[in-house]
Structure 1
Amino acid sequence: MADKDLTIIEHIDEVRKRLMVIVVFFIVGAIGSFFLAKPLINFIQYDTPAEQITLNAFNVIDPVVIYLKVIVFLAIVIISPVIMYQFWAFISPGLHELERKVTLSYIPFAFLLFIVGISFSYFVLLPYVMKFMINLSGQLNIEQTIGINEYFSFLFSLLLPFGFVFQLPIVILFLSRLGVLQPKVLVKIRKVAYFVLFVIAAFITPPDIVSHLFTSVPLFILYEISIVISRLGYRKFEKSERLRQMEEIKAEQQRQIDEVMNKTDDK
């Protein structure tokens, strides 16, 4: 019982250390983001998605709030590789040496997919969303007065989820490489997964069929790519397992030979 309690305490201490590293890097990232926030805010205000609207401040502190939101967003993006590495470092002691090396190599690709997801939602999806909202307001004779705080909140609520959703292939590859997830399971639950992705797309897009399909189709493609990646990852897992079992058999045979030799020497 004491050993178990000690293990739990050690795990908690390890989590605390990893979180402290993330916090330190977040502070450093936030300091760096302070100088990048203003150019990004100006770019977003005058870029295509917002060029047809006027952004207003409804509160005296809105400029400060926007500045802080952008700093936090940039800091998260900048230190996302650090967050991924700390997560890997926490679970890596439970992996074999080969698994540690392989899964560590996933981090750059995970970061790349995170950026691709954010870029897709901003440069591809957001213009369609804004166009739909503006057209709908015109059809309903509604004069929009959009707050800059609300616009940026809406923007980040769209960008970050897509950044995380685009991690799906890496997560699937990671689990398959460890043997936790088999590709046949992904094939079996494909219909359910499509339905879930369709619902997710419904929550983050306007209720028109074009925008919905524009979001759903890339998510479906991501899922199909994940199945292919899962097959590759699981094959490598099976190969490494066979090699490990062969090494164990050889080690056991060598141990038995050594025992026989020792007994012979004793005689």
Structure 2
Amino acid sequence: MENKNAHLIEHLEELRQRIIRTLIAFLFFLILAFVFVEDIYNWLIKDLDGKLAILGPSDILWVYMVISGVCAIAATIPVAAYQTWRFVAPALTKEESRVAFHFIPGLFLLFLTGIAFGYLILFPIVLNYLTTLSSGHFEAMFTADRYFRFMLHLTLPFGFLFEMPLVVMFLTRLGIINPMRLAKARKLCYFALIVVSILITPPDLISDVLVIIPLLLLYEVSITISKVVYRKRLISEVSVS
């Protein structure tokens, strides 16, 4: 019993150290991003006509912290994934550990791809549509707080959601899930993705549809990838046996 307790304490201590290292990396990237935040801010609003308004001195600080925070999250993902891999590696086989390590760069690249999709494709479409609705009836004035909060809602979730195919590939490779289970759970997952889409988008039908369609396509892509990985896994198991 004492050995089990000592082993548990040792694992908890290692987990604490991994979390601390990840937080240190996040703070480092946060400070680094904040140093260049004005340049990033100017790049993000380069297509806007005029300047964004602020309602108080704290607004611009909030905007700068949000921009820096998103940059820090993106940069910290490989560090967090590596620390997670180092923590669980002793419980994995040599092959599983090797596979898990090779997925780390993919997490970072897919997160950036999701952010790019939200910012370069979805955000301009939704913004132009909503701006068109107000033309001729209202005088639109964008505040920095509202503008970047709106941008955040349409970009950051896609950074995480775009990692769905890679996560599915990884879990299929380890034998935790398979394409049959994913296909069987299609209706439930569709419902969950639709709920997520409604929660992260502005309250209008066009925005909901523009978000729902990519998410459903991502799920179907995940099933296809799972089929390929599952087939290769079966072939490798047969050849080994």
Aligned to 2:193: 197
The question of 1:185 aligning with 2:181 is answered: yes
Distance 2:152 2:115 in 1: 9
Gaps of 5+ in 2: none
Q: 1:56 is paired with a residue of what secondary structure?
A: coil
Q: 1:155 is paired with a residue of what secondary structure?
A: helix
Aligned to 1:90: 87
Which of 158, 165, 170 aligns to 1:169? It is: 165
Distance 1:25 1:100 in 2: 23
Aligned to 2:5: 5
Aligned to 2:210: 214
The question of 1:126 aligning with 2:123 is answered: yes
Which of 146, 151, 156 aligns to 1:155? It is: 151
Aligned to 2:35: 35
Instruction: Report if aligned partners of 1:129, 1:205 keep a CA contact under 8 Å in 2.
Output: no
Distance 1:95 1:238 in 2: 19
The question of 1:20 aligning with 2:16 is answered: no
Q: Following TM superposition, by how much is the alpha carbon of 1:29 offset from its aligned partner in structure 2, in angstroms?
A: 1.3
Instruction: Report if aligned partners of 1:53, 1:146 keep a CA contact under 8 Å in 2.
Output: no
Distance 2:148 2:104 in 1: 28
Distance 1:156 1:212 in 2: 15
Q: Deviations over 1:56-82 (max 9, x none)?
A: 111122222222222222111122211
Distance 1:60 1:174 in 2: 46
Q: 1:61 is paired with a residue of what secondary structure?
A: helix
Q: Residues 204 and 127 of structure 1: is their aligned pair in 2 closer, same or farther, counting only changes over 3 Å?
A: same
Q: Tell me the percent identity.
A: 37
Distance 1:222 1:3 in 2: 46
Aligned amino acid, residue 201 of structure 2: T
Q: Following TM superposition, by how much is the alpha carbon of 1:44 offset from its aligned partner in structure 2, in angstroms?
A: 1.4
Instruction: Report if aligned partners of 1:37, 1:71 keep a CA contact under 8 Å in 2.
Output: yes
Q: Residues 199 and 147 of structure 1: is their aligned pair in 2 closer, same or farther, counting only changes over 3 Å?
A: same
Which of 221, 224, 239 aligns to 1:225? It is: 221
Q: Residues 7 and 239 of structure 1: is their aligned pair in 2 closer, same or farther, counting only changes over 3 Å?
A: farther
Distance 2:88 2:183 in 1: 27
TM-score (norm. length: structure 1)? 0.81
Bigger mean CA deviation after superposition, 29-38 or 112-121: 29-38
TM-score (norm. length: structure 2)? 0.89
Larger Rg: 1
Aligned to 1:103: 100
Gaps of 5+ in 1: 247-267
Bigger mean CA deviation after superposition, 53-62 or 218-227: 53-62
Aligned amino acid, residue 152 of structure 1: F
Q: Residues 179 and 30 of structure 1: is their aligned pair in 2 closer, same or farther, counting only changes over 3 Å?
A: same
